[in-house]
Amino acid sequence: MDYPEGVNLSELLGIKIADKNREVIGSLSDVVFSLEKPIEITKFIAGGTALEEFLEKIKLKTDRDPVFNAADIRSFTKSSIFLNKTHNRLKEAEEQENTETRPEIRFTQLMKTKVIGKNDQKVGNIIDVHFDHDSVQFILGGGFFRDLIDNIGLVNQDEFLIREEDIIQFSNGLLKISKSKTDLEKVISKHKDHTDDHLANFEDAEFAL
């Protein structure tokens, strides 16, 4: 399917979802990814109000969040999702999870996934998901280089996007990639040197004024 291009999933959580009759049925509260290649979103979950979600979390209310897949979407933008089905034709989250046989993981669980490099060294965590037209890519962050990439603004740099071809193993709680810790340290060092040179040149020019 075509995703909104150049946007991260965290920015889409909370956008309104409307059914075939343009009735708002909730907002995007979570998505489900396959753990098998191709890595893609298999389901979207429409959540209710904050109070409803809290009551469901503490088991005081049955989880009846509507669930839909890519085939149910008529249009998907950065601000809304319109479906080609009516609300009453959608399944519920609990019902879907009880019948699913493929290995899957929710976005809210994905954020806890540890990322290790090809030498089995921990290199960070998945901090978000980036959409690129017809594919999804995981954004690597945290770990040993968290402060560096935060300070020099490299979170969305191309080198820190985990593509499907980078993935060696993907299971609940663990993502192994073909990049090593050394590879990533070199990337950070290169960008840090470039940023330091840029700042030095800027300060020199400002002083000259």
pLDDT tens, 131-167? Answer: 877 788 898 877 655 555 555 555 445 457 888 888 9
- Topology, domain 111-208: SH3 type barrels. (2.30.30)
CB 90 within 8 A of CB 68: yes
Alpha helices by DSSP H, listed for 38-129, are 50-57, 93-99, 107-110
pLDDT at 53: 55
pLDDT at 123: 83
Q: What is the rounded CA–CA span in Å between residue 111 and residue 10?
A: 11
Residue among 114, 167, 112 nearest 136 (CA):
167
Alpha helices by DSSP H, listed for the chain, are 9-12, 50-57, 93-99, 107-110, 146-151, 181-208
Give the CATH H-level superfamily of domain 7-108: PRC-barrel domain (2.30.30.240)
Residue among 69, 24, 28, 61 nearest 46 (CA):
28
pLDDT at 203: 45
The tokens for 192 are 């840090």
Residue among 164, 160, 168 nearest 143 (CA):
160
Buried b (16+ CB within 10 A) or exposed e, 37-61: eebbbbbbbbbbeeeebeebeeeee
Q: How far is CA 9 from the centre of its chain?
A: 5
According to CATH, where is 2.30.30.240 located in the chain? Answer: 7-108, 111-208
* Low pLDDT (below 50) residues in the chain: 155-156, 158, 195, 198-209
Q: Please name the residue that has the structure tokens 């340290």.
A: 185
Query: Strand runs (DSSP E) across 48-185, as ranges?
Result: 66-68, 73-76, 80-83, 91-92, 104-106, 114-116, 122-132, 135-141, 161-162, 167-171, 174-177
pLDDT at 5: 79
pLDDT at 186: 75
pLDDT at 95: 56
